[in-house]
């Protein structure tokens, strides 16, 4: 019964994670579009600077049929202000979207953790024994420099306690680089 409940919860959390990955991918695409627009605006500024240089050259020759230097400088100043305003607006909008998504993901995570904590059986203490209550399927993982049990659990999506029980780690803080661990339910 518990296995099916935990499996269902795991599948639900994985589906939420995929939805969140889609939302993050959408945000990344929005940022990419904004970056592209900024690039286009920068190209336009360069073009205006080239035109300004050409106007300066022609005005030195005496051709008065073009804009004055003051007019060009005014136009460049206006364009610069517009560019800064557009960048500030897009940054603000993007930050607001990211903040909303983070808040939403935080609420979903908290709700999932609460549901998980309500459905978990009480742990029995004593004797330093290891529980056999962990997924029997999983993956192997080789400990890398800087890894801790918490880091490995985060990387693989497994629970720390399941890793401890499956590998019978008497002292989880003493894992070593190169050590191979079985990660129950890991990916």
Residue 51 has pLDDT above 90, yes or no: yes
Contact, 168 vs 183, CB < 8 A? Answer: no
- Of the pLDDT bands very low, low, confident and very high (cuts 50, 70, 90), residue 59 is confident
Mean pLDDT along residues 130-150: 91
73-90 per-position pLDDT tens digit: 999 999 899 999 999 999
CA-based end-to-end distance of the chain: 23
Beta bridge partners of 139: 183
Contact, 159 vs 167, CB < 8 A? Answer: no
pLDDT for res 13: 60
Mean pLDDT along residues 88-99: 91
Pick the range with the lowest mean pLDDT from 28-37, 63-72, 140-149, 165-174. Answer: 63-72
The correct CATH number of 138-184 out of 3.30.420.40, 3.40.50.1220, 1.10.340.30, 3.10.350.10 is: 3.10.350.10
Which residues have C-beta within 8 Å of that of residue 119, sequence separation ≥ 6? Answer: 2, 5, 6, 9
CA dist 96 and 102 (Å) reads 10
4-45 per-position pLDDT tens digit: 666 666 666 666 667 788 888 888 898 898 889 988 988 999
- Of the pLDDT bands very low, low, confident and very high (cuts 50, 70, 90), residue 100 is very high
- Of the pLDDT bands very low, low, confident and very high (cuts 50, 70, 90), residue 111 is confident
pLDDT for res 46: 92
Residue recorded with tokens 């979903």: 108
Pick the range with the lowest mean pLDDT from 56-65, 85-94, 133-142. Answer: 56-65
User: CA 141 → CA 23, 33, 150, distances in Å?
Assistant: 29, 38, 13
CA dist 183 and 164 (Å) reads 9
CA dist 8 and 182 (Å) reads 22
What whole-number percentage of the chain has pLDDT above 70?
Answer: 83
For the chain, the domains span 2-119, 138-184
pLDDT for res 151: 93
pLDDT for res 61: 72
Encoding tokens for residue 59? 């005005």
Task: Kindly report the average pLDDT of the chain as a whole number.
Answer: 84
pLDDT for res 11: 63
């Amino acid at each position: 019964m518990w296995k099916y409940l935990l499996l269902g919860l795991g599948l639900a959390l994985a589906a939420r994670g995929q939805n969140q990955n889609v939302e993050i991918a959408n945000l990344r695409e929005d940022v990419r579009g904004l970056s592209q627009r900024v690039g286009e605006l920068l190209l336009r500024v360069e073009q205006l600077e080239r035109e300004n240089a050409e106007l300066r050259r022609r005005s030195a020759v005496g051709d008065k049929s073009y804009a004055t230097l003051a007019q060009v400088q005014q136009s460049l100043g206006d364009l610069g202000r517009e560019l800064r305003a557009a960048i500030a607006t897009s940054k603000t909008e993007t930050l607001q979207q990211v903040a909303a998504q983070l808040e939403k993901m935080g609420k979903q995570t908290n709700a999932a953790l609460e549901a998980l904590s309500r459905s978990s059986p009480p742990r029995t203490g004593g004797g330093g024994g290891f529980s056999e209550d962990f997924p029997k399927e999983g993956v192997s993982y080789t400990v890398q420099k800087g890894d801790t049990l918490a880091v490995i659990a985060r990387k693989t999506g497994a629970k720390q306690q399941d890793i401890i029980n499956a590998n019978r780690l008497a002292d989880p803080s003493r894992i070593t680089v190169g050590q191979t661990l079985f990660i129950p339910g890991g990916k």
